[in-house]
Amino acid sequence: MDTPEQRIQIAVQKTGRLTDHSIDLLERCGLIVTKSKNQLICYGENMPIDLLLVRDDDIPGLVSEDVCDLGIVGLNIVEEKRLGLLAEGSEALFKQIYELDFGHCRLSLAASDGVNYSGPESLQNKRIATSYVAILREYLNKHEVDAETVYFSGAVEIAPKLGRADYICDLVSTGGTLAANGLQEVDVLLDSEAVVIQTQAPLGDAKQALVDKILQRLDGVLQVRESKYIMLHAPRSALAEIRNLLPGSEAPTVMPLDGNDDKVAVHAVCRENVFWETLENLQAAGASSLLVLPVEKMLA
């Protein structure tokens, strides 16, 4: 086995909303790891890459302190850490390098139903409960509003009911939790999703080459997620219209059909989902023998 210095350590959430997606994504990049969520480290069996399973809040720090080379974590946690360090006069030693298109949520301000919110000035002299003190502070400073932040480590949404705060600033995804607690979303501070962060410490050529390879594979995996391979027959005369109907496709391959000069076969990778309506429109334009296939892997 390679020495720890030659292996890449990726910090991943141990148990939570990002865990399965993060590990699944790395597996789809070709990584095979020893599976045991109860241990701290999952060792890569076929690549010199190990996963460190930790609490999401610890991931930016582990990457910043160069304990891990990469981390997969919500942008909300990354921004909170970065702004928290800035407020203390230091700097985060990680860079955000990739958006992963899962773990989508937003950090929002919410107030009890019926509260009249007319912009950040409505927060003047109010109390706001949050776990995201640094992001909230920056927002208040930006809008030159004076408000009291009340720190809650969890269950922020009950703060107004307890009389501890006038507003809350918390993550929202469907909005169900806010609604269940009689709260309404009034402003969005940050749109978040899972991202990859990398330490700013130099990795050395071999490690950097491996990181680049993983990122290229991630790119391929993310691109194929919505992509479909579409095959159809089309009258030559309808080719221009049919090309226009193919969603998000680059130049399709057009091939003659044996013994039929009027029709051609068209094959295209569509980088968006292909819906029934699209197929029906293609058919109405003269296409026939339509076939839509999932794309397994893609390398640009």
Sheet holding 41-43, edge to edge: 41-43, 49-54, 8-13, 70-74, 194-199, 94-99
Separation between Cα atoms, residue 37 and residue 32, nearest integer Å = 14
Distances (CA, A) of 77 to 56, 106, 229, 259, 260: 8, 12, 37, 61, 60
Distances (CA, A) of 4 to 23, 44, 49: 20, 12, 10
- Binding residue (CB under 6 A) for ligand PRT from 50, 80, 166, 170: 170
SS3 74: strand
Output the smallest distance, CB 75 to ligand PRT, in A: 7
Interface positions with Zn ion (CB under 5 A): 56-57
* Six token digits for residue 267: 């094959």
Q: In this structure, are residues 140 and 121 in contact, taking their beta carbons and an 8 Å threshold? A: no
Q: Is 62 exposed, middle or buried (0-12, 13-18, 19+ CB in 10 A)?
A: buried
Stretch that binds ligand PRT, among 25-33, 74-82, 244-252, 279-287 (CB under 6 A): 74-82
Strands 127-130 and 148-151 turn out to be: parallel
Restricting to residues 87-146, name those near ligand PRT by CB under 6 A.
Answer: 103, 105
Check binding of 48 to ligand PRT (CB under 6 A): no
Check binding of 160 to ligand PRT (CB under 6 A): no
* Six token digits for residue 6: 């030659």
* Six token digits for residue 70: 């990469």
Check binding of 171 to ligand PRT (CB under 6 A): yes
Over the window 49 to 68, marking each residue x when it contacts ligand PRT by CB under 6 A and - when it does not, the resulting string is: ------xxx-----------
Output the smallest distance, CB 33 to Zn ion, in A: 22
Output the smallest distance, CB 53 to Zn ion, in A: 13
The length of the chain, given as a count of residues: 300
Q: What is the dihedral of CA 50, 30, 228, 268, to 10 degrees?
A: 130
Angle value at C-alpha 107, between 106 and 111, nearest 5 degrees: 115
- Binding residue (CB under 6 A) for ligand PRT from 96, 112, 149, 177: 177
Output the smallest distance, CB 33 to ligand PRT, in A: 19
SS3 224: helix
Restricting to residues 178-197, name those near ligand PRT by CB under 6 A.
Answer: 192
Contacts of 38 (CB under 8 A, 6+ apart): none
Output the smallest distance, CB 139 to ligand PRT, in A: 17
- Binding residue (CB under 6 A) for ligand PRT from 7, 17, 236, 243: 17
Q: Which is nearer to ligand PRT, 103 or 252 (CB)?
A: 103
Check binding of 4 to ligand PRT (CB under 6 A): no
Q: What residue 60 binds from Zn ion, ligand PRT, none (CB within 5 to 8 A, per partner kind)?
A: none
Stretch that binds ligand PRT, among 69-77, 78-86, 89-97, 144-152 (CB under 6 A): 69-77
Q: Which is nearer to Zn ion, 50 or 56 (CB)?
A: 56
- Binding residue (CB under 6 A) for ligand PRT from 60, 71, 74, 220: 74
Q: Which residues bind ligand PRT (CB under 6 A)?
A: 13, 16-18, 55-57, 74, 76-77, 103, 105, 170-177, 192
